[in-house]
Amino acid sequence: MANVIVIGAQWGDEGKGKITDLLSRSADVVVRYQGGVNAGHTVVVNGQTFKLHLIPSGILYPDTECIVASGTVIDPKVLIEELDQVEALGVSTQNFKISQAAHVTMPYHRLIDQASEERRGSRKIGTTGRGIGPTYADKSERTGIRMVDLMDLEGLRAQLEWTIQYKNVVLEKLYNLPPLDPEAVYQEYLGYAERLRPHVVDASLRIYEATQRRANILFEGAQGTLLDLDHGTYPYVTSSNPIAGGACVGAGVGPTMVDRVIGVAKAYTTRVGEGPFPTELVDGIGEHLGDRGAEFGTTTGRKRRCGWFDGVIGRYAVRVNGLDCLAITKLDVLDELAEIKVCVAYDVNGNRCEHLPTDPRQFALCQPIYETLPGWKTPTSECRALEDLPQAALDYLKYLAELMSVPIAIVSLGASRDQTIIIEDPIHGPKRALLDSE
């Protein structure tokens, strides 16, 4: 039995959906612990593509219980659309559960998010406009609506009348937007409540009971380490805590219940939205990575910025998450390159910096210091074992493991489940992956 956290070790979009899907076959319970519909996971199974936002990737396994925990924020309209989509594809949602303590995204959250981002102008953060930040803001301000409130229909009406009266002042006076009708919002969310009611549970208790029966639990985060509200590249971050510590808070479990933490990182680096990106490539190679890797956001369709692998943020992810193994994804995207660069440190005003600066102004000045490795110029998408890989590709993986001082457990070579080399199953395998620097 093992309880494992899967986190993104970069700026998100690392391929966590596929890795979570792979590990879910060994899990009894999969828990999504933070974020909202601003996240997106794409999973390809037998040629069929599933684009998931709130529903954990484990939903594709009929016997796996999937829980959206208290640390998430729920847009019920989007969630119901997603439930309809997976059910239309023949996937059962009977084992899908939602925490009664999760906060609910309301129409005013989306309006304020979009209007606020537009007003920022050149200082925009690059949000998805899905209302995530304002929902978490209301949570912190203790004025939010939770799933348990959504289930209390009379209480919800009274709460909406008060809340929307206040939000209308913001919409009208600050953003020059028309006011919302509390009754119309109530009637809309009344339907959502009835559809979702069978799925709403005490998630923390349910997860605890799973630990007591020694079930295998997989904790799934959204976004990535560098988007963490407290430990990411602030202010260009999300509004929650994707790092491993956020799993305990968001799921309502103690840290002693966690056995392992696996970090997911691409064989190169991508970023969506605004903010400094030291290894970004604005040349033909960057275009090649974007085209070959199909680098477009699952949620917004925005083109991702691409660059070489950044070992500085990799080591940072190891430190703040306590990673003990890695999954490297999209290695095949590098197949056609004659040489590959890896950032090993930064140059900041002539000084070598090997750690991620906390000061965003200093981070914006960072210039990558690269080491260059030979490419392999050989297709790898059909490789299914380490010995199938070209020697240069194997050397590249060993280099990354040495750079980050963490062994590699999984290598992904495409979007499909079978395009994977599983060196060690982090749930059932020994507590050391086989591919390291030795």
Strand partners, 98: 68, 200
Catalytic residue status for 113:
no
End-to-end CA distance of the chain: 28
Catalytic residue among 41, 53, 199, 231: 41
Q: Supply angle C-alpha 199, 203, 207, rounded to 5.
A: 120
Q: Are 8 and 35 in contact (CB under 8 A)?
A: no
Could you tell me what percentage of the chain is helix, strand and coil, using 3-state DSSP and rounding each to the nearest 5? 40, 20, 40
Residue 156: CB atoms within 10 A of its CB come to 19
Alpha-carbon distance of 375 to 336, in angstroms, equals: 8
Catalytic residue status for 13:
yes
Q: Are 273 and 129 in contact (CB under 8 A)?
A: no
Measured CA distances, 419 to 26, 163, 384 (Å)? 18, 49, 7
Alpha-carbon distance of 293 to 190, in angstroms, equals: 42
Catalytic residue among 13, 28, 75, 138: 13
Dihedral sign computed on CA atoms, order 432, 264, 352, 359: negative
Residue type, 95: N
Alpha-carbon distance of 74 to 109, in angstroms, equals: 12
- Reading the block at residue 234, the tokens are 């602030």
- Reading the block at residue 165, the tokens are 């009266």
H or E element at residue 260: strand 260-266
DSSP category for residue 334: G
Alpha-carbon distance of 321 to 325, in angstroms, equals: 11
- Reading the block at residue 380, the tokens are 């790898």
Q: Is 353 helix (H, G, I), strand (E, B) or coil?
A: strand
The catalytic residue positions are: 13, 41
